[in-house]
Amino acid sequence: MFYLLLLPSACQGPAAIHPPSTDPVEELAELAPLLESPAEAEDLDPAEGIVHLALEAARATYTVGGLQIEGYAYNGQNPGPTIRAQVGDTVVVDFQNLIDTPTTVHWHGLKVPNDMDGVEWVSEPLLPGATFTYAFTATQAGTFWYHPHLDVEHQVDLGLYGAIVIEEPADPVPDRELVIVWDVWAEADPADEHTAPDPGTLLWTANGLTAPRVELAAGEVVRVRMINASNAGYLDLSWPGLRQIGSDQGLLPAPIAPASALLAPGDRADFEWAASNEDFEVATAMYTPSGGSALGDPLTLLSVEMTDSAAPGSALPWSGPTDPPSADPTWTDIVYVLQGGAAAEDWLINGESYPEVTVETATLGEASVIEVRNLSATEHPFHLHGQSFEVLSVDGVPPAMRTVEDTVNVKIRQRVRLRVLADNPGDWMVHCHLLGHEASGMMTVLRIE
């Protein structure tokens, strides 16, 4: 049996789903809607180097994949407005909580000051009606996102999330950029049995649209920034000529061309699409956290259409920092053992359930080696706040190139070793980004002092 965990109607809270429209004209128009990036937040401050935004969380009714959702939204849109800044900019967000329950805003992947991180462990939740000004300097380039960090399983599910794009002015300039925030509106509960989800229950959306299309003009080169904002849905993406140029923490040292790209909940990846003469489809393999690739036909998520057939676009020289990978030392500072059983309350880190946790410490300014061991029967996207980390090895095997992330999927029985340069002081959350697991206590605290 599956729980329809992410169907807002199956959630607590105000959501309800109405049946899709049966108007044939409307249905036809919805067949392949044109995908666009989410609207961007307006910068209220004309000064250079300052991005000043107003953000409010409120109840909202919106349409997702032909379903009318009564959920929550930031500034009335789902996904919420994209926050765009350049490395070095000060970002100021005047936030107001207009939902009927306490919330916070967390800036996933960004090294913000500890008291700006939007977590209950450090700061008071924002009660209904409360306002708070978040401010931080954007120090890292890449694709990030924001979402509540309280009652997170329901609030993210109901639509509270948005993209953050931090630009590095030295990056190659594409003809266009496309931000795609993926979510799924019905899926199997990963805490449930070790079975694959029924593909029929999956309703993946890209910026709220089901199976949309993207048009590429002749010669066009697009930087595609993807975010998996779903509570528990894994994407195992593929298309012909897949070229990945970035991951959680900005551009890779060099582009790669893997057969597929796994995007676990919380993960981001950047890709390059250069118009060729061929239309193509972006698909996901059936993938579950309880067993990886599962049986079932791939699901087409969107189609990319060439509007004319002139010369293909030419690839740009994407490259992030090219430091060589750090060697995996023989010592370990902190071990996190991921455990869990069949019962949803069972998800633990080192045998503990948040908030009754042992606070591990790391020394400010030093590199710490963290080993994550997954002893449970499901995969977990392991996420650390306030820092980034380098993946030293997976089951003893170092990555082909330096890999810097803030969220890393740890497969069943895997042992992943991470190097954290502890450069941001404070108490930081460490947790699984399957939001049901996080809510059930699969979270702990790393103190950097």
The interface region with ligand C2O, picked from 81-89, 388-396, 414-422, 428-436 by CB under 6 A, is: 428-436
Query: 31-69: b or e for each residue (b if 16 or more CB lie within 10 Å)?
Result: ebbebebbeebebeeeeeeebbbebbbebbebebbebeb
Q: Say which residues have a Cβ less than 8 Å from residue 308's Cβ, sequence separation at least 6.
A: 217, 218
Closer of 120 and 175 to ligand C2O (Cβ) = 120
- Between β-strands 299-306 and 213-216, what pairing exists: parallel, antiparallel or unpaired? parallel
Q: Which does 253 bind (CB under 5 to 8 A by kind): ligand C2O, Cu ion, none?
A: none
Q: Which of 52, 108, 154, 268 binds ligand C2O (CB under 6 A)?
A: 108
Closest among 275, 211, 206 to 241, alpha carbons compared: 275
Q: Which does 71 bind (CB under 5 to 8 A by kind): Cu ion, ligand C2O, none?
A: none
Q: Which of 429, 439, 445, 446 binds ligand C2O (CB under 6 A)?
A: 429
DSSP state at residue 345: G
In degrees rounded to 5, what are phi and psi of residue 32?
-140, 80
The interface region with ligand C2O, picked from 7-15, 55-63, 334-342, 427-435 by CB under 6 A, is: 427-435
- Between β-strands 235-238 and 261-263, what pairing exists: parallel, antiparallel or unpaired? antiparallel
Q: Which of 380, 383, 411, 437 binds ligand C2O (CB under 6 A)?
A: 383
- Between β-strands 176-184 and 360-362, what pairing exists: parallel, antiparallel or unpaired? unpaired
Q: Which does 266 bind (CB under 5 to 8 A by kind): Cu ion, ligand C2O, none?
A: ligand C2O
Q: Is 111 in the site for ligand C2O (CB under 6 A)?
A: no
Q: Is 156 left (phi over 0), alpha (psi -120 to 50) or beta?
A: alpha
Q: Considering only residues 8-37, where is the footprint of ligand C2O by CB under 6 A? A: none
Q: Measure the CA–CA gap between 21 and 386, rounded to whole angstroms.
A: 44
Alpha helical stretches, state H, 319-363: none
Closest among 70, 5, 36, 58 to 203, alpha carbons compared: 5
What track of x and - describes contact with Cu ion for positions 272 through 311 (by CB under 5 A)? ----------------------------------------
Q: Count interface residues toward ligand C2O (CB under 6 A).
A: 10
Distance in Å from the first CA to the final CA of the chain? 46
Q: Is 385 in the site for ligand C2O (CB under 6 A)?
A: yes
Q: Which does 411 bind (CB under 5 to 8 A by kind): ligand C2O, Cu ion, none?
A: none
Q: Is 268 in the site for ligand C2O (CB under 6 A)?
A: no
Q: How far is the CB of 193 from ligand C2O (least distance, A)?
A: 26
Say if residues 416 and 170 touch (Cβ distance below 8 Å). Answer: no
DSSP state at residue 399: P
Say if residues 102 and 128 touch (Cβ distance below 8 Å). Answer: yes
**Token pair recorded at residue 440:** 């059930």
Closer of 221 and 357 to ligand C2O (Cβ) = 357
Q: Is 437 in the site for Cu ion (CB under 5 A)?
A: yes
Q: Considering only residues 377-396, where is the footprint of Cu ion by CB under 5 A? A: 380
Q: Which does 380 bind (CB under 5 to 8 A by kind): ligand C2O, Cu ion, none?
A: Cu ion
Q: Considering only residues 142-201, where is the footprint of ligand C2O by CB under 6 A? A: 147, 149
Q: Which does 243 bind (CB under 5 to 8 A by kind): ligand C2O, Cu ion, none?
A: none
Q: Is 434 in the site for Cu ion (CB under 5 A)?
A: yes
Indicate the length of the chain as a whole number. Answer: 449
Q: Say which residues have a Cβ less than 8 Å from residue 25's Cβ, sequence separation at least 6.
A: none
Q: Which does 385 bind (CB under 5 to 8 A by kind): ligand C2O, Cu ion, none?
A: ligand C2O
Closer of 52 and 106 to ligand C2O (Cβ) = 106
The residues binding Cu ion (CB under 5 A) are: 380, 432, 434, 437
The residues binding ligand C2O (CB under 6 A) are: 106, 108, 147, 149, 266, 383, 385, 429, 431, 433
